A = this chain, B = another copy of it.
Amino acid sequence: MRNLKILSSIALPLLMGASISTAIAAQNAPKVEVFLSPSKVIEDTAADEWAEISPSDLMVMILEKDAKGRDRRVIIQLLPPPFSQSWVGNMRTLTAARWYDGISVVRVQDNYVTQWGDPNGEEEGQSKKLPDNLNNAGENEYVQKIEDVKINELKLADPYAQNNGFYAGWPMASSGKEIWPTHCYSMVGVGRGLSPDTGTGAELYTVIGHAPRHLDRNIALVGRIISGMEHLSSLPRGTGPLGFYETPEERTKILSVRMGDEVADLSQYEYLSTDSASFAKYAKARQNRHDQFFIRPAGGADICNISVPIRVKK
């Protein structure tokens, strides 16, 4: 049964699908649009459509080895200015102070978040001392005025926003007056208490389920996982309230966090520029799947289902 191997054709090269579309297009040109598969669009990109990610904007987080003794390395890309830079600055400070070294994954709530922080954060007198020079990130930098950020608009139907699109490689939503990053899968945000507290960046989470977009504009997003997401998404779920682990033994220790430019063997990562012609084609292909696998293309897509292609530089 070949079925087992083909639930989705996302990762398959689908040249035949593309050829058929091309043939149809030729017959009816110029009316019919040629729809390539998303993977074929990526394959056809030019080298100069990819933008390098500076290692200084990456955080490399090493978890303790798994039960089978395998390494677990997670790479976080930091959100670019002007978004959330107070918290991003705090994260750089916390990394420089080695504050994150030795903290743990404390919470894994199914279809929601994996969260890490000081496991003794709630014990009076036991919590790890924070550096003195953290920014007071009280201002809502995670929402910006529309005049200050130019997104390439996609205008996808969106129950959480009037408009949406991409800015410098990141998914964004817009109210027409304001722009903010969206809580898609693998995005990283700042844990906090009840509003108007905004957190420091010492406690972080990543989205491991369906995008909790109701958190948009309520929590500071600061980055996203670009490698090793599976080490956070496949952890055992916590059985306490909100998915917190009930015993210290269940936690996964974070051995170290370093900035990318401190890590000698780090690959150079790059993302498909969201201003490139190929990205526009890719976004269209994600909305109109004409791969061999598909019977009915959707004619639209959730902003969180147009994940920005990121790869190790070739």
Q: Using CB atoms and an 8 Å cutoff, list the residues of chain A in contact with chain B.
A: 1-12, 67, 106-113, 115, 117-118, 121-122, 127, 156-160, 184-186, 191-197, 199, 202-203, 205, 209-219, 229-230, 233-237, 241-242, 244, 286-287, 289, 292-298, 300-305
* Chain B minimum-CB-distance residue to A240: B5
Q: Which residues of B contact A202 (CB under 8 A)?
A: 1
Interchain CB contact under 8 A, B7 and A115: yes
Given contacts A230-B236, A302-B302, 5 further A-B contacts (CB under 8 A): A3-B197, A6-B194, A7-B192, A195-B295, A210-B211
* Chain B minimum-CB-distance residue to A242: B11
Q: Which residues of B contact A300 (CB under 8 A)?
A: 159-160
* Shortest beta-carbon contacts, A-B, top 7: A159-B300, A1-B121, A157-B159, A230-B237, A217-B296, A195-B295, A185-B210
Interchain CB contact under 8 A, A11 and B210: no
Interchain CB contact under 8 A, A159 and B295: no
Contact of A301 among B159, B230, B235, B296 (CB under 8 A): B159
A161: min CB distance to chain B, Å: 8
Q: Which residues of B contact A111 (CB under 8 A)?
A: 185-186, 229, 233
Interchain CB contact under 8 A, A122 and B298: no
Contact of A191 among B7, B121, B127, B237 (CB under 8 A): B7
Interchain CB contact under 8 A, B107 and A293: no
A283: min CB distance to chain B, Å: 12
CA distance A52 to B304 in the complex (A): 35
Interchain CB contact under 8 A, B294 and A195: yes
